[in-house]
């Protein structure tokens, strides 16, 4: 009998208050519960909007609310830096995004603060809230997080950068590259994995040979912890500890919250194909929302009646947000092609090409790169260089020699051999307000960075509706003729010139290198800065003293002429000038235009020249097809057709996969001065 009485008393007793041990007040837990409810109701609202045809797509987070709200609760909202992934409605609510703002995104309205209707729903981003704009390609955010956290280390601020992701994202190369870097530099970063058991249909066993994502942290030299992702206080405790470690200089942590996705992958998915209804039903019994409610009631933080009122209020808040969001206007179609660049060159009156002063220092191209970087770093402490071997060695071409000695290892940073992350980290640094100049050792290795360049750097300004911009410079030596074979000779400008949002420049004289490198570093947009290897030591010239600038997007009339126009760039500026000199001995007056900027093209200058001379030869080193020559020829045909005396001709490398190594083979494909003379003469006589 005594035993029975004792048990009844225990049943009535309040269980230990775990939240107080974690430093959370009762109101905090009620706030967590309210946020979890909002997340659930926003999800359900969004789902129903797709089912009634008002919204087109949604990615539900149902089942993951505890993992999301519990982890985000550990941040200093508005101070720390957050990179949520698409499923993270609970994260963004915790950080201050309202249900109304989320539903504006679901309905692709013009006032959607994430993207103004430019991205699919669930692609979060708000500078105001410290939420970095995210994209669809899985895993591209990891190097950004590393860059943002590195910026905190360099500045000595106490921000922590937190990245959320699903377990499948840990299979991506960017995950490895970024966490490796974060471990090396003990960055103030936390990586929160919401392991919901599935990618789309592929389960963990087909995703990873080790059972837990957290196991991977050991290979990056930091801790990985596994927590019950359906227990909000467990998740909070683990993330809080990780954030504290990061904030106090103890480096990164990987927190794996093991949870379950209760809904299909997206509104387009049919999950019955890859998992049984019984499995989902069983998982519903572990649903984190009723579990938190039980805790709130058991702790008597709310009475049953108060809990009902809280739920009703949350439901009504979401319903009202939905009504208001439905009333909001869609984006104006006329704005679809705006905010491509933070500094849109095309819409401005084009500045004149500056005339270099007669005074200056004689330098070759390579020394000019190095000196200009030195000057820019000395003038502005936000400027830094990073890349493989750029520090101690000063780069394989020595373009960054001496910078580490002058400015320290932090601002002339040797990176691991991991190109995608070099660009991705630089994007993160740029998003943090620094002015990174990344070096990719050879242009041929830019291909590994394509996703970061094209999906991220180029699109961040556009996709965030102008909220974020990426003041990034990526320098890389390009071009052939040095007998370096297929993987140290490539011309890559056309790949990137095709991508709006990037600026692509190819200066080839010391004065242009100095002036355009300065303009590129000062530019708010990502600039691909291509330096032709053969110009490095071969081309010398006067570099003006002081802060000399050559604007991006302005071509150079390298030699005026009347009979025909050669439009070219890079090493072929110099070969074309030689050709023009030879043709002058035959009384031909040849104008040579060095584009200097491939994108955006200075069409005014070369179309004006074509109208005047009536004959145009485009000369470049890249393959002939689908390249700059095609773009220039099409523009001239469109704008100057009736002024032409002959068809526009292209002289370029035949379409081979890459330049071969052996000298005879290489020569057979290279465009030489003699080739230019022959092609120009033929055109002049046509």
Buried b (16+ CB within 10 A) or exposed e, 174-189: bbbbbbbbbbebbbbb
Q: Which residue, chain included where needed, has tokens 């592929």?
A: 202
Task: Kindly report the three-state secondary structure assignment for every residue of 485-524.
Answer: CCCCCCCCHHHHHCCCCCEEECCCCHHHHHHHHHHHHHCC
Count of alpha carbons within 13 Å of 328, Cβ hemisphere only?
Answer: 25
If one counts every other C-beta atom within 10 angstroms of the C-beta of residue 135, the result is 20
CB of 400 to ligand TPP, least distance (A): 32
- The residue number whose beta carbon is nearest to ligand TPP equals 166
Q: At what angle do helices 99-106 and 26-51 cross, to 10 degrees?
A: 20
Decide whether 164 or 529 has the Cβ nearer to ligand TPP.
164
Q: Judged by CB under 6 A, does residue 481 bind ligand TPP?
A: no
The answer to whether 181 and 418 are in contact (CB under 8 A) is: yes
- In the complex, minimum distance from the CB of residue 66 to ligand TPP, in angstroms, rounded to a whole number: 15
> How would you class 18 by CB atoms within 10 Å of its CB: exposed for 0-12, middle for 13-18, buried for 19 or more?
middle
Return the closest-CA partner of residue 671 out of 566, 575, 592, 584: 575
Our CB check for ligand TPP shows the closer of 207 and 368 to be: 207
Residue 288 near residue 196, CB atoms below 8 Å: no
Q: How many residues bind ligand TPP (CB under 6 A)?
A: 15
**Which residue among 31, 137, 482, 524 contacts ligand TPP (CB under 6 A)?**
137
Among the residue ranges 134-142, 268-276, 405-413, 501-509, the one whose residues contact ligand TPP (CB under 6 A): 134-142
Interaction of residue 406 with ligand TPP, rule CB under 6 A: no
Q: How many residues does this entry show for the chain?
A: 686
φ, ψ of residue 126 in degrees (nearest 5): -160, 110
Query: Can you tell me which residue has the tokens 């957290």?
Result: 214
- Interface with ligand TPP includes 199 (CB under 6 A)? yes
- Smaller CB separation from ligand TPP, 62 or 522: 62
Q: State the catalytic residue, choosing from 123, 144, 461, 488.
A: 488
| Residue whose CB is less far from ligand TPP, 439 or 456 | 456
Angle, helices 26-51/304-327, rounded to nearest 10 degrees: 40
**What track of x and - describes contact with ligand TPP for positions 154 through 183 (by CB under 6 A)?**
-----------xxxxx--------------
Element (H or E) spanning 593, and its range? strand 590-594
For 432-455, what is the HEC assignment? CCCEEEEECCCHHHHHHHHHHHHH
- Least CB distance to ligand TPP at residue 294 (A): 26
138 binds ligand TPP (CB under 6 A): yes
Query: Which one of the spans 130-138, 241-249, 395-403, 582-590 is the region binding ligand TPP (CB under 6 A)?
Result: 130-138
Site string for ligand TPP, 82-101 (x = CB under 6 A): -----x--------------
Binding mask 243-282 toward ligand TPP (x if CB under 6 A, else -) reads ------------------x---x-----------------
Q: Is 35 in the site for ligand TPP (CB under 6 A)?
A: no
The yes-or-no answer on residue 488 being catalytic is yes
Whichever of 134 and 356 has its CB closer to ligand TPP, that residue is 134
Cα distance between residue 114 and residue 460, in whole Å: 11
Closer to ligand TPP by Cβ: residue 165 or 478: 165
Q: Which residues bind ligand TPP (CB under 6 A)?
A: 87, 136-138, 165-169, 196, 198-200, 261, 265
Catalytic residues: 488
């Amino acid at each position: 009998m005594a035993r029975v009485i004792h048990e009844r008393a225990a049943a009535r007793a309040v269980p230990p208050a775990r939240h107080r041990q974690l430093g959370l007040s009762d109101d905090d837990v009620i706030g967590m519960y309210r946020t979890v409810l909002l997340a659930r109701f926003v999800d359900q609202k969004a789902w129903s909007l797709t089912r009634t045809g008002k919204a087109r797509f949604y990615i539900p987070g149902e089942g993951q609310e505890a993992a999301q709200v519990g982890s985000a609760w550990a941040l200093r909202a508005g101070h720390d830096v957050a990179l949520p992934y698409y499923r993270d409605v609970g994260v963004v609510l915790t950080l201050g995004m309202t249900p109304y703002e989320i539903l504006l995104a679901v309905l692709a309205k013009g006032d959607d603060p994430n993207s103004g209707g430019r991205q699919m729903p669930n692609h979060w981003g708000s500078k105001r809230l410290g939420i970095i704009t995210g994209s669809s390609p899985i895993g591209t955010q990891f190097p950004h997080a590393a860059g943002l956290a590195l910026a905190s280390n360099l500045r000595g601020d106490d921000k922590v950068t937190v990245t959320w992701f699903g377990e499948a994202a840990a299979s991506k190369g960017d995950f490895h590259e970024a966490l490796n870097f974060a471990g090396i530099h003990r960055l103030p970063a936390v990586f929160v994995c919401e392991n919901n058991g599935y990618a789309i249909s592929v389960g963990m066993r087909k995703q990873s040979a080790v059972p837990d994502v957290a196991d991977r942290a050991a290979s990056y030299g930091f801790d990985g912890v596994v927590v019950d992702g359906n227990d909000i206080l467990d998740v909070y405790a683990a993330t809080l500890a990780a954030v504290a470690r990061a904030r106090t200089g103890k480096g990164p942590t990987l927190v794996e919250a093991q949870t379950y996705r209760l809904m299909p992958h997206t509104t387009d998915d049919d999950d019955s194909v890859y998992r049984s209804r019984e499995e989902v039903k069983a998982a519903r019994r572990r649903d984190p929302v009723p579990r938190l409610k039980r805790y709130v009631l058991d702790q008597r933080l709310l009475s049953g009646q108060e809990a009902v009122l809280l739920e009703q209020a949350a439901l009504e808040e979401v319903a009202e947000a939905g009504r208001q969001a439905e009333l909001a206007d869609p984006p104006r179609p006329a704005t679809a092609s705006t905010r491509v660049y933070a500094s849109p060159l095309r819409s401005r009156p084009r500045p004149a090409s500056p005339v270099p002063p007669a005074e200056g220092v004689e330098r070759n191209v390579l020394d000019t790169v190095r000196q200009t970087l030195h000057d820019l770093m000395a003038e502005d402490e936000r400027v830094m260089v990073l890349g493989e071997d750029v520090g101690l060695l000063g780069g394989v071409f020595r373009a960054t020699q001496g910078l580490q000695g002058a400015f320290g290892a932090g601002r002339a940073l040797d990176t691991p051999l991991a190109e995608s992350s070099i660009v991705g980290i630089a994007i993160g640094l740029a998003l943090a307000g620094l002015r990174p100049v990344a070096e990719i050792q050879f242009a041929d290795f830019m291909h590994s960075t394509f996703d970061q360049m094209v999906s991220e750097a180029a699109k961040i300004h556009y996709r965030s509706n102008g909220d974020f911009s990426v003041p990034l410079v990526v320098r890389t030596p390009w071009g052939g003729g040095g007998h370096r074979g297929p993987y140290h000779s490539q011309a890559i400008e056309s790949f990137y010139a095709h991508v709006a949002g990037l600026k692509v420049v190819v200066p080839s004289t010391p004065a242009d290198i100095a002036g355009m490198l300065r303009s590129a570093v000062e530019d708010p947009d990502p600039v691909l800065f291509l330096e032709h290897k053969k110009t490095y030591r071969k081309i010398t010239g006067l570099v003006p003293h002081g802060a000399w600038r050559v604007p991006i997007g302005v071509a150079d009339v390298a030699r005026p002429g009347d009979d025909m126009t050669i439009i070219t760039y890079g090493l072929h500026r110099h070969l074309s000038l030689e050709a023009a000199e030879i043709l002058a001995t035959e009384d031909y007056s040849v104008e040579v235009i060095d584009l200097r900027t491939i994108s955006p093209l200075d069409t005014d200058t070369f179309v004006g020249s074509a109208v005047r001379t009536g004959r145009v030869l485009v000369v470049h080193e890249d393959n002939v097809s689908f390249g700059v020559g095609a773009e220039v020829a099409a523009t001239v045909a469109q704008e100057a057709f009736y002024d032409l005396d002959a068809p526009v001709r292209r002289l370029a490398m035949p379409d081979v996969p890459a330049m071969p190594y052996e000298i005879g083979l290489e020569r057979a494909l290279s465009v030489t001065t003699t080739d230019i003379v022959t092609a120009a003469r033929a055109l002049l006589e046509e």
